[in-house]
Structure 1
């Protein structure tokens, strides 16, 4: 059964820099040896994530790259894709876009903004995944 996990931003460090939570989630996936695809909202967010993944943990390098930048992207454990790139889905998706991903995957992680006004699209996605029979979980971060 596919899973959809919603991570609600709450802690001050994630409120200040929501993409830090994305880095933490990608780091956990990499440690578990799960190929991950981050669905960035736009090319600027993809670039910001790329920069942050280089710098967020000074003690550990998290291998990653932006889709469409290199021929061997299939080998990158963490791949960042903006909407203008067409890449195959991976077992784990971290979705930062407004729409739910379409296609076959095992698990999707949705990052929920701290701002209650920005949460409406995520409520709709929760219902969407529920309709599709996903196992749903919510975590306060």
Structure 2
């Protein structure tokens, strides 16, 4: 049974930098031994995530890379994909794009910014996942 978890940003530290929440989710997945694909909104966001995954916690090491940068990307625990790359499927996807995550996966994490403009596309994605038979959960972060 596939599931979609929506993380609605509320805490000030995540409001200031929503990508921190993405790093926390990637760390939890890595600690659980779950290979993760992050679908970045654009190349700039992919680069920002790449940098932040090194820096956000000095005690955490999360092997990661940007899709298309290296041929051994299958070995990276966390693969960051900008639009235009067709990355291999992974069972866990963190989706930062407006549309629902493409591909084949068991679980998708949707990170939703605090601003109201992001909530319209969110409701649409919620309905689309629901129509696909996903189990839906919502968390306030």
Normalized against structure 2, the TM-score is what?
A: 0.98
- Find out whether 1:52 has 2:46 as its counterpart: no
Q: CA deviation at 1:103?
A: 2.4
Unaligned runs of 5+ in 1: none
Instruction: Name the residue aligned to 2:90.
Output: 90
- Find out whether 1:34 has 2:34 as its counterpart: yes
Unaligned runs of 5+ in 2: none
**CA deviation map 1:56-86 (0-9, x unaligned):** 0111211100001111100000000001111
For residues 136 and 52 of structure 1, the distance between their equivalents in structure 2, rounded to whole angstroms, comes to: 28
Instruction: Name the residue aligned to 1:99.
Output: 99
Deviates more, 1:98-107 or 1:130-139: 98-107
Displaced runs of 4 or more, over 3 A: none
Instruction: Name the residue aligned to 2:119.
Output: 119
SS of 1:130's equivalent?
A: helix
SS of 1:104's equivalent?
A: coil
For residues 51 and 132 of structure 1, the distance between their equivalents in structure 2, rounded to whole angstroms, comes to: 34
Deviates more, 1:1-10 or 1:97-106: 97-106
**CA deviation map 1:24-51 (0-9, x unaligned):** 0000000000000000000000000000
For residues 3 and 60 of structure 2, the distance between their equivalents in structure 1, rounded to whole angstroms, comes to: 28
Number of corresponding residues: 141
For residues 52 and 105 of structure 1, the distance between their equivalents in structure 2, rounded to whole angstroms, comes to: 25
**CA deviation map 1:81-115 (0-9, x unaligned):** 00111111200000000111222100000001101
- Find out whether 1:24 has 2:41 as its counterpart: no
Normalized against structure 1, the TM-score is what?
A: 0.98
Give me the CA root mean square deviation.
0.7
